[in-house]
């Protein structure tokens, strides 16, 4: 599933194509993805000008001069394709600008979503209501993390994947950040020392920033809108590296927690 860096990369790619442009065509090519698309999507977008793009957690945001926000989630296999030579079977939503630029939302498995909300009500969007702070923002600091996990016996990895604790983190980057901070994924969150949590906050920010600079991590379907693959996978320290040597010389281990693979080093992470 595309995580925060992949969505940030996607938004950056779309920004170069549609920001400031008037939408000539907004075409849903089916009625639904994971959920039904709003029936007035075409009407609210056609003729509107895109004034900015942004991101909240794993959601991309496209703002228009009609004070509407198009909200997209890439699901498991979604990606935007820019100026495609042909429209493909799984291009389920098309935006075309008056300049003739085209952005097609391609989602073979249809686990993604498209929605539209008035800007004034964006904070009340159902997916955003209880979300935690953005991990790259100043709101996510040692105090915020300590408060969120105080007294919690759940594993720290599970806490970091909880979008109510911190928004936008996924399996890849949690595994990598925990390794960088030297914390075992199974450690009870509430029992981790303040010093270790300081390292963890720093590691989360560093891993995400490095991943964004590398264009994210390409797993199966993900690519940036221009087709460029993400290269952060080449920098993975533990994720996807079961049985390979960690930098300390021990072998990277893997176990399955709640259906997700957890990669870690039993020697570096305590």
Which helix H or strand E contains 227, and what residues bound it?
none
225 catalytically annotated: no
Catalytic residue among 3, 8, 96, 176: 3
Q: Is-catalytic flag, 260?
A: yes
The active-site residue out of 58, 79, 81, 157 is: 58
Whether the CB-CB separation of 80 and 14 falls below 8 Å is answered with: yes
Q: Give the residue among 270, 64, 58, 43 at the shortest CA–CA distance from 178.
A: 270
Q: What's the rounded mean pLDDT across residues 151-169?
A: 97
Hey, what domains does the chain have and what are their CATH numbers? 4-124 (3.20.190.10), 142-264 (1.10.8.50)
Burial class (CB in 10 A: 0-12, 13-18, 19+), 195: exposed
Our answer to whether residue 81 is catalytic in this structure is no
- Does the annotation mark 3 as catalytic? yes
- Residue from 49, 66, 187, 260 carrying the catalytic annotation: 260
Residues near 252 by beta carbon (within 8 Å), at least 6 away in sequence: 238, 241, 242, 243, 244, 245, 246, 263, 264, 265
pLDDT in tens, 245-270: 999 999 999 999 888 999 999 999 99
Q: What is the pLDDT of residues 94-138, one digit of tens each?
A: 999 999 999 999 999 999 999 999 999 999 999 999 999 999 999
**Structure token pair of residue 148:** 């969120």
Q: What is the pLDDT of residue 72?
A: 98
Residue 18 contacts residue 62 (beta carbons within 8 Å)? yes
């Amino acid at each position: 599933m595309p995580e925060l860096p992949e969505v940030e990369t996607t938004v950056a790619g779309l920004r170069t194509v549609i920001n400031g442009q008037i939408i000539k065509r907004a075409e849903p090519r089916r009625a639904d993805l994971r959920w039904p698309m709003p029936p007035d999507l075409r009407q609210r977008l056609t003729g509107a000008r895109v004034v900015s793009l942004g991101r909240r957690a794993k959601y991309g945001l496209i703002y228009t001069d009609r004070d509407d926000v198009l909200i997209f989630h890439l699901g498991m296999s979604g990606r935007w394709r820019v100026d495609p030579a042909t429209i493909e079977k799984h291009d389920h939503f098309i935006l075309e600008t008056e300049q003739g630029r085209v952005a097609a939302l391609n989602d073979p498995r249809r686990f993604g979503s498209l929605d539209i909300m008035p800007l004034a009500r964006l904070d009340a969007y159902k997916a955003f209501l209880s979300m935690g702070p953005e991990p790259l923002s100043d709101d996510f600091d040692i105090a915020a993390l300590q408060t969120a996990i105080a007294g919690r016996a759940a594993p720290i990895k599970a806490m970091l994947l909880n979008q109510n604790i911190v928004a936008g983190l996924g399996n890849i980057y949690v595994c990598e950040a925990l390794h960088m901070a030297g914390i075992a994924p199974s450690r009870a969150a509430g029992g981790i020392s303040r010093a270790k949590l300081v390292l963890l906050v720093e590691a989360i920010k560093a891993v995400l920033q490095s991943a964004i600079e590398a264009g994210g991590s390409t797993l199966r379907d993900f690519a940036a809108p221009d087709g460029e693959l993400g290269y952060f996978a080449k920098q993975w320290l533990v994720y996807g590296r079961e049985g390979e040597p960690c930098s300390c010389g021990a072998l990277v281990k893997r176990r399955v927690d709640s259906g997700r693979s957890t990669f870690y080093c039993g020697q570096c992470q305590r």
